[in-house]
A and B are shown apart, each in its own frame.
Chain A
Amino acid sequence: MRAAELRGPAGMRGSVRIDFWSVTMAVALAIIGLVLVWPILQVLFLGFFDPESKSVSFAGYVKVLSHPYYLGALWNTMLVGVGGMVGACLLGVPLAYCTARYVVKGRGVITTLAVLALVSPPFIGAYSWIIVLGNNGWLTQQMKAIGIAVPTIYGMAGIILVFSLKFFPFVYLMTESALRNINRSFEEAAENLGCTPVQRFFKVTLPLVFPATSSGAILCFVLSIADFGTPSIIGRDFRTLSTIAYNQYTSEMGGTPTMAVSISMLMIVISMLAVMLQRHLLGKRRYAGSMTNRHVQLEVRGWASAGIHTLCYAVVGLATLPIAVVIYTSFLQTKGPVFSGGFGFNSYARVIQEVPEVIVNTFRFSLLATLLITVAGGLMSYIIVRRETKMAGFLDSILMVPYVVPGVVMAIGFLLTFNKAPLDLVGTGSIIVLILFIRRLPYGVRATSSVLRQIKPSIEEAAVSLGASPAKAFFKVTVPLMMPGIVAGAMMSFITAINELSSTLLLYTAPTTTMPVKVYNAVLDGEFGIAAALSTILLVSSGLCVYGVLRFSQSKEGAFV
Chain B
Amino acid sequence: MSHVQLKNIKKTYGSHVALKDVSLSIDRGSFFTLLGPSGCGKTTLLRAIAGFHQQDAGEILLEGQSISHLGANKRNVGMVFQDYAVFPHLSVFDNVAFGLVQQKLPVAEIRERVAAILATVQLDQHAQRMPHQLSGGQQQRVGLARALVIRPKVLLMDEPLSNLDAKLRVELRRDIRSLQQTLDITTVYVTHDQEEALSISDQVCVMHDGVVQQVGTPWIVYNRPANRFVATFVGSNNFLPVALEGAGQPLVLGQSLAVPKSVTSQGANGLVASIRPEKIVVNEALSEPGLHFGGVVRQAMFTGRELQLTIEVTGHGLIEALTEPSAVMIALKPGDAVRLGVRAEDFLFFAPGVSGALLQ
Contacts and interface: CB of A to CB of B under 8 A. Distances in A.
Interface stretch (A66-74, A211-219, A407-415, A456-464): A456-464
Interface in B210-266: none
Contacts, number: 96
Contacts of B55: 10-11
A469 interface: yes
Nearest to B74: A4
B69 A9 contact: yes
Interface in A442-464: 456, 458-459, 461-464
Contact of B56 (A13, A467, A469, A473): A13
Given A11-B56, A463-B98, A466-B102, A458 B81 contact: yes
Contact of B54 (A10, A456, A463, A468): A10
A7 interface: yes
A32 B73 CA distance: 32
A107 to B, nearest CB: 27
A338 interface: no
Interface string B73-97: 1111111011101111100000000
Contacts of B76: 467
A471 to B, nearest CB: 10
B99 interface: yes
B302 interface: no
B50 A465 contact: yes
Contacts of B71: 3-5, 7, 464, 469-470
Nearest to B89: A480
Given A5-B74, A468-B73, A469-B73, A11 B57 contact: yes
A462 B85 contact: yes
B150 interface: yes
B56 A465 contact: no
A79 interface: no
B172 to A, nearest CB: 18
A481 interface: yes
Contacts of A300: none
B68 interface: yes
Nearest to B95: A462
A477 interface: yes
Interface residues of B, number: 38
B103 interface: yes
B153 interface: no
Contacts of B293: none
B87 A466 contact: no
Nearest to B78: A465
Which applies to chain A's interface (DSSP): helix, strand, loop or mixed?
Answer: helix
Contact of A461 (B54, B81, B150): B81
B79 A461 contact: yes
A9 B74 CA distance: 14
A486 to B, nearest CB: 13
A10 to B, nearest CB: 4
Contacts of B86: 462
B193 interface: no
A468 B97 CA distance: 13
Contacts of A458: 81-83, 85
A486 B191 CA distance: 37
A459 B81 CA distance: 9
A428 to B, nearest CB: 41
B287 to A, nearest CB: 54
B69 A10 contact: yes
B45 to A, nearest CB: 15
Nearest to A455: B88
Interface in B60-74: 66, 68-74
Contacts of B192: none
Interface string A1-27: 001110101110100000000000000
Contacts of A9: 68-69
A465 B74 contact: no
B59 interface: yes
Contacts of A463: 87, 98
A461 B57 contact: no
B146 A466 contact: yes
Contacts of A461: 50, 52, 72, 79, 81, 85
A462 B69 contact: no
Nearest to B156: A465
B73 A467 contact: yes
Contact of B77 (A3, A7, A465, A469): A465
Given A458-B81, A467-B103, A4 B72 contact: yes
Nearest to A11: B57
A301 B201 CA distance: 64
Interface of A: 3-5, 7, 9-11, 13, 456, 458-459, 461-470, 473, 477, 480-481
5 contacts: A11-B57, A461-B85, A462-B79, A477-B87, A481-B89
Given A11-B57, A462-B143, A464-B71, 19 more contacts: A4-B70, A4-B74, A5-B71, A7-B54, A10-B55, A10-B59, A10-B66, A461-B50, A462-B85, A463-B87, A465-B50, A465-B51, A465-B79, A467-B74, A468-B102, A469-B71, A469-B73, A470-B73, A481-B89
A-B pairs with the 8 shortest C-beta distances? Answer: A4-B71, A466-B99, A10-B68, A458-B85, A467-B102, A465-B79, A462-B85, A458-B81
